Structure 1
Amino acid sequence: MIKKTIKDLSINCQNILGWKSNKKILVIESDDWGSIRMPSKKAYSNLLNNGIAVDKCPYNSNDSLENTDDLNALFETFSSIKDSEGNSLKLTANSILANPDFEKIKANNFEKYYYEDFVSTYQRVNGNTDTYELIKQGLDQGVYIPQLHGREHLQVNEWLNILREGDKEALLAFDNELFGYPTQRYRDSKMHLLTALHIRNPEEEKFAIQSIRESANLFEQFFGFKSESFIAPRYIWNDVIEKELANVGVKYIQGKIVQSIPNENSLKSKIHLFGSKNKYDQIYLNRNVFFEPTQNPRFPWMKDALNRIDISFRWGKPAIISMHRLNFMGGLNEKNRTDNLLALKDLINKVQKKYPDVIFMSTNELGKLINNEK
């Protein structure tokens, strides 16, 4: 009881200050679209049989490159749910625009990084670009709204260092076209391989700036418009990144209430009030609801999410729900996709029953609303 009281007090405090609205707005932000993650069931079995505990990581067990089955199931569910204004439920699909080109990297003895755009990854992994064509249909229907998540979901410099050192687990994962894997080094290091913008020195800063520029260009090339918002992998970024994001047209920064700012040896925290602006006139949009059933099946996600939504609406805040891609993927485990889409539909139905006037928005639409009211 005491723990619940303290938790509720904390959630309330995080929602009290900052921009407010009389409207009950619901946004779903989903990270990692376009990233390869676990390439196949065969790769999963190879790694597991060689002693890499991929079965202990929900991402490695369930998250794989999206395919047409995933998207068709997603679009069917989202288009079947309408808000009080007739809008379909919308997925802000935070997208990774490139993946490592494993073949070229290996051919150059891990000395230089090469990447392929995500549509080329669809072609190589899925055997066609039908997924990309379906994404464009979802965009036209207004249910799938791509936004920028970065060029790759990977701290490239650290990864190449580990590979050059000859780390056996890293090399085995590499040979199976995987870069996110659980190892002792992975757990003990202050550097998480998936923190693409964990910048420690001038060389990595230069690399990160280039990656932002190239990801923005790729985004516009494949989606036909500039991304207005951005979410940093694992919520780690610094002022240099914000400046470069402003240069490529990003107006809204997704995240949690606490930003992790990297330096050479550690991370420091910075709090952002909802709707506050930085010196580049970018607006911070904080996630305040989390619905991630695949991350921990034993956690009461439904109860927690409904409580957080109640609190956000009580204080005039949008309910911004974090629900990563892994919850929607069925390529490795079809039940994972089916169960979570049903759970999400149940969550939204419960919200609409209690708040019939709730309206659905994408992240960039919410950002525009805040900008227009300031």
Structure 2
Amino acid sequence: MRPYYIESARDNEELRENLKYGLDEFENIFGFRARQFRAGGDVISPELYPTLKENGIEYMDETLYINRYLGDGQYKRSFNYTGKVNSLGQKLVVRNCVFEPSVAPDFDSVGKCMAMISAAFACRKPAIISSHRANFVGGIDEQNREIGLAKLRKLLSEIVKRYPDVEFVNADQMADIIFKKL
């Protein structure tokens, strides 16, 4: 089940408490407050956005198209883009490059991601790469980690070779740059 999937609008109160708890735990563990949020499975009720805002979330990491679950079997499809601002003033960041080497190990994930990076840079946009930790773990399959990390090394090497002035930044830094907070 997706973490923020709701069967009815009354499920939101439990999710609000879970969000508050999770954001507090993040701060306890890492020593700073989270400022960016992405819903697992890309499903979240817009009714939860105020809770995120009240708990320090400035940036929403979302997909280009998202089905917002409203509860009671109702969805609303939204189109997103980096720079869009929601009704609460939270700014949206949309990833425009994909690197998922474990999804299809024989697929040229490095070449595909490089093509997306090139397209982003050609449009004078930052390359915001989407990747999941599942690509780099080996608890179940050691080879998954070896292949994923080898392809990541190759991707990073290709990026630096093709774009020697490239800068790598974390998600908050990228959002700050995009929205000119730095």
TM-score where L is the length of structure 2: 0.92
| Residue correspondence of structure 1 range 1-374 to structure 2 within 5 A | 193=1, 195-263=2-70, 264-372=72-180
Deviations 1:273-321 (A, max 9, x none): 2122112211111011111111222433122111110111111211111
CA contact (8 A) 1:200 1:262 kept: no
Distance 1:237 1:342, change over 3 A: same
The higher relative CO (CA closer than 8 Å, separation ≥ 6) is in 1
Distance between the aligned counterparts of 1:323 and 1:343, measured in 2? 12
Instruction: Supply the AA of the counterpart residue of 1:275.
Output: G
Instruction: Supply the AA of the counterpart residue of 2:63.
Output: K
CA contact (8 A) 1:237 1:259 kept: no
Percent identity for Structure 1 against Structure 2? 27
Instruction: Supply the AA of the counterpart residue of 2:93.
Output: L
Distance between the aligned counterparts of 1:317 and 1:242, measured in 2? 27
- Residue ranges of structure 2 left out of the alignment (5+ in a row): none
Which secondary structure does the structure 2 equivalent of 1:284 belong to? strand
Which secondary structure does the structure 1 equivalent of 2:179 belong to? helix
Q: CA deviation at 1:373?
A: 5.7
Instruction: Supply the AA of the counterpart residue of 1:328.
Output: F
Tell me the matched-pair count.
Answer: 181
RMSD (Å) for aligned C-alpha atoms: 1.6
Q: CA deviation at 1:368?
A: 1.5
Which secondary structure does the structure 2 equivalent of 1:361 belong to? coil
Deviations 1:218-275 (A, max 9, x none): 1111111100101101111132121111010011111211122013224331011212
CA contact (8 A) 1:287 1:320 kept: yes
Instruction: Supply the AA of the counterpart residue of 2:43.
Output: I
Partner of 1:180: none
Instruction: Supply the AA of the counterpart residue of 1:230.
Output: F
Distance between the aligned counterparts of 1:363 and 1:282, measured in 2? 15
Distance 1:326 1:278, change over 3 A: same
Distance between the aligned counterparts of 1:266 and 1:295, measured in 2? 30
Runs of 4+ in 1 over 2 A off after TM superposition: 296-300, 370-374
Instruction: Supply the AA of the counterpart residue of 1:316.
Output: R
- Residue ranges of structure 1 left out of the alignment (5+ in a row): 1-192
CA contact (8 A) 2:42 2:66 kept: yes
CA contact (8 A) 2:160 2:166 kept: yes
Instruction: Supply the AA of the counterpart residue of 1:343.
Output: K
Deviations 1:78-130 (A, max 9, x none): xxxxxxxxxxxxxxxxxxxxxxxxxxxxxxxxxxxxxxxxxxxxxxxxxxxxx
Distance between the aligned counterparts of 1:207 and 1:223, measured in 2? 24
Which secondary structure does the structure 2 equivalent of 1:318 belong to? coil
Distance between the aligned counterparts of 1:214 and 1:260, measured in 2? 25
Which structure has the larger Rg over C-alpha atoms?
1
Instruction: Supply the AA of the counterpart residue of 2:88.
Output: Y
